[in-house]
A and B are shown apart, each in its own frame.
Chain A
Amino acid sequence: MSNCTVTGKHAATTIHGLKGNRDLQSGILKRVLTSVLILLCLASCAARTVNVEGSYPRPNIPAIPLVLGVYYGEGLTDFVYTELSDRGEEEYLVASGDTHQVLFNTVLPAMFERVVVLDSMEEAAARGVDAVFVPRINEFQLGMPQKTRLDSYEVWVRYNMRLTSADGSYIADWVMTAYGKATASSFSTAERGINDAAVAALRDLASNFSLGFTGVPDVRDWLQHRMSQ
């Protein structure tokens, strides 16, 4: 009997202890779940950043026997495109400044005898360049499959290309467009699709720029003048 009482007390204590532990565990679990839900909500609400990365082949074209200075200004290096959702919230931030520099640092040395990257326009004359090239992004558009109802990601970019002499005077100013697309795959992410479409657009720019540079009327006139000197 006494044994029975002791057992009963012990059991009651154990049950009480278990209940307390369960309450504690349940409380922790609730807090963890709430935190996870908040984090998930924040993660889904926050805009996702795509830092465009890619490699570009060197063009196989004859080099122009001139020294070109290139200045990557703010309109290129810090360019970030913001894609908004249907509700007007920031959905994707596409940063392409670094990859544009990689692209021009690959393409330009193949097009010219020597290329000098300038930190400012003012140092052009001191660095002994024949001309200064200043690329700038004017407009960037992104086509997402869920919005366009197509099975691909599309990127369209409009550039303003400017060529000046070392003292800053006008040589040429022209507009170029680039287009790239990447097929949307069931096993890939939207970030990957945007990146691939952007890299395809930059490759399109590189091919068009390297083959069309000498065909820009003002550039052609300037080159003819320089070569005849």
Chain B
Amino acid sequence: MIIKAQHSMLSAWLRTMISLGLLALLQACTTTTIDEFRQGATGITADDSVVILGRRQGAAYETRAQFVECVGERMARGSNAINVVPEQQFIDAMFPWFEPRTAPLRSEDLQQLMAQPLVKEIMTEFGVRYIVWLDGQTETTSRMGSISCAVGPGGGGCFGFGSWEDDSSFEARVWDVSSATAVGTISADATGQSYMPAVFVPIPLIARVEANACSSLADQLKQFVQGG
């Protein structure tokens, strides 16, 4: 009798958990918007490469190196893969010209920079055709709810519900090194709501906002530099 009651309680708990999980899974999705603004013709050969650099001039935030790496890795794989020079390798080789305080801010500054024989030589060595400047960040807003956890001699557990919203906003400015001009801008905005229900164990249902912004932006950038 007791076993039967426990069994029915367990089934009810499982059903609740599955329903909560499915509900949250349905809602833990991301919306991504990509905008492209083309200023000039593009095209890339098999010998050419692209370097993706994060903007780090601002005091309030800096573009995360992990996001820059993510975009680069995605552009360098799959069909029509592009040669991507790793950010840190390029910045070290170009030292001190691409540091936060010395990096060119406008495409006109790139013309002046390319006038330096050492800079031009390294740029040619890497075969850099396009410089992509990534600028942006992911912010977490609208935090709601609370989760309490307790541990005792008989065990522990958590109970509660938490949710938050992540907003990613990134802009990629593409400079053509051969002409030292800006050829276009692509922006990616992604939003998603994450949930964390906790009934004994917290179950994180995370909206992969930055990852989606990364993949969408990388795919668009790949098409853009290939002239598509």
Residues of A within 8 A of B (CB): 57-62, 181, 183, 203-204, 206-208, 210-211
Task: Offer 26 A-B interface pairs, CB within 8 angstroms, sorted by A.
Answer: A57-B93, A57-B95, A59-B95, A60-B94, A60-B95, A60-B96, A60-B97, A60-B118, A60-B119, A60-B122, A61-B96, A61-B118, A62-B118, A181-B62, A183-B64, A203-B99, A204-B99, A204-B101, A207-B95, A207-B99, A207-B101, A207-B102, A208-B96, A208-B101, A210-B96, A211-B102
- Mask, B67-107, CB within 8 Å of A = 1, is 00000000000000000000000001111110111100000
B96:A206 contact, CB within 8 angstroms: yes
Give A55's nearest chain B residue, CB to CB: B92
B118:A207 contact, CB within 8 angstroms: no
A58:B95 contact, CB within 8 angstroms: yes
In the bound complex, CA of A68 to CA of B124 (Å): 32
The B interface is mostly helix, strand or loop, or mixed, namely loop
In the bound complex, CA of A203 to CA of B96 (Å): 9
Min CB distance, A203 to chain B, in Å? 7
Give A152's nearest chain B residue, CB to CB: B62
- From the candidates B62, B96, B100, B101, name the one contacting A59 in the complex (CB within 8 A): B96
In the bound complex, CA of A61 to CA of B95 (Å): 9
Q: Which 9 A-B pairs have the closest CB atoms?
A: A207-B96, A57-B95, A207-B99, A60-B118, A57-B92, A59-B96, A207-B102, A210-B96, A59-B95
Which residues of chain B are within 8 angstroms of A208 by Cβ–Cβ distance? 96, 101-102
Min CB distance, B171 to chain A, in Å? 20
Give B121's nearest chain A residue, CB to CB: A60
Give B103's nearest chain A residue, CB to CB: A207
- Mask, B203-226, CB within 8 Å of A = 1, is 000000000000000000000000
- From the candidates B94, B100, B122, name the one contacting A204 in the complex (CB within 8 A): B100
Give B60's nearest chain A residue, CB to CB: A150
- Mask, B171-185, CB within 8 Å of A = 1, is 000000000000000
Most buried by B among A62, A203, A206: A203
Give B64's nearest chain A residue, CB to CB: A183
Which residues of chain B are within 8 angstroms of A211 by Cβ–Cβ distance? 96, 102
In the bound complex, CA of A181 to CA of B118 (Å): 28
Which residues of chain B are within 8 angstroms of A203 by Cβ–Cβ distance? 99
Which residues of chain B are within 8 angstroms of A61 by Cβ–Cβ distance? 96, 118
Min CB distance, A181 to chain B, in Å? 8
Which residues of chain A are within 8 angstroms of B93 by Cβ–Cβ distance? 57, 60
In the bound complex, CA of A206 to CA of B100 (Å): 12
Min CB distance, A167 to chain B, in Å? 32
Min CB distance, A152 to chain B, in Å? 9
Which residues of chain A are within 8 angstroms of B102 by Cβ–Cβ distance? 207-208, 211
In the bound complex, CA of A94 to CA of B94 (Å): 29
Give B118's nearest chain A residue, CB to CB: A60
In the bound complex, CA of A58 to CA of B94 (Å): 9
Give A181's nearest chain B residue, CB to CB: B62
Give A203's nearest chain B residue, CB to CB: B99
Min CB distance, A187 to chain B, in Å? 13
Min CB distance, A183 to chain B, in Å? 8
In the bound complex, CA of A210 to CA of B96 (Å): 8
Give A57's nearest chain B residue, CB to CB: B95
In the bound complex, CA of A109 to CA of B3 (Å): 81
Which residues of chain A are within 8 angstroms of B64 by Cβ–Cβ distance? 183
Min CB distance, A105 to chain B, in Å? 15
Give B65's nearest chain A residue, CB to CB: A183
In the bound complex, CA of A62 to CA of B62 (Å): 30
Which residues of chain A are within 8 angstroms of B100 by Cβ–Cβ distance? 204
